[in-house]
């Protein structure tokens, strides 16, 4: 059996990508639609939807 750690470990911080929004992939209808929704949401001041669209574009089911 191993000894327990007797000191605090350095916390792990995942990188945050706050620099820029994801770009839609050329020729992808899903990305294009998300970019359009994001633009309309931004024009209407709905930043929650803008953020959601960014997340969906980053986690696109087709792997891009």
Condensed to tens digits (0 to 9), the pLDDT of residues 3-60 reads: 776 777 787 887 776 668 899 988 999 999 999 999 999 999 999 999 999 999 988 8
pLDDT at residue 43, as a whole number: 97
26-40 burial: b if 16+ Cβ within 10 Å, else e: eeeeebeebbebbee
Given a cut of 90, whether residue 62 has pLDDT beyond it is: no
For residues 35 and 43, give the distance between their C-alpha atoms in angstroms, rounded to a whole number: 12
For residues 64 and 49, give the distance between their C-alpha atoms in angstroms, rounded to a whole number: 20
pLDDT at residue 17, as a whole number: 64
DSSP code per residue over 28-64:
-HHHHHHHHHHHHHHHTT-HHHHHHHHHHHHT-TT--
């Amino acid at each position: 059996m191993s000894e327990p750690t007797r000191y605090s470990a350095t916390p792990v911080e995942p990188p945050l990508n706050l620099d820029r929004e994801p770009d839609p992939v050329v020729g992808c209808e899903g990305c294009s639609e998300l970019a359009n929704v994001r633009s309309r949401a931004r024009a209407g001041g709905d930043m929650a939807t803008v953020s959601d669209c960014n997340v969906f574009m980053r986690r696109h089911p087709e792997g891009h």
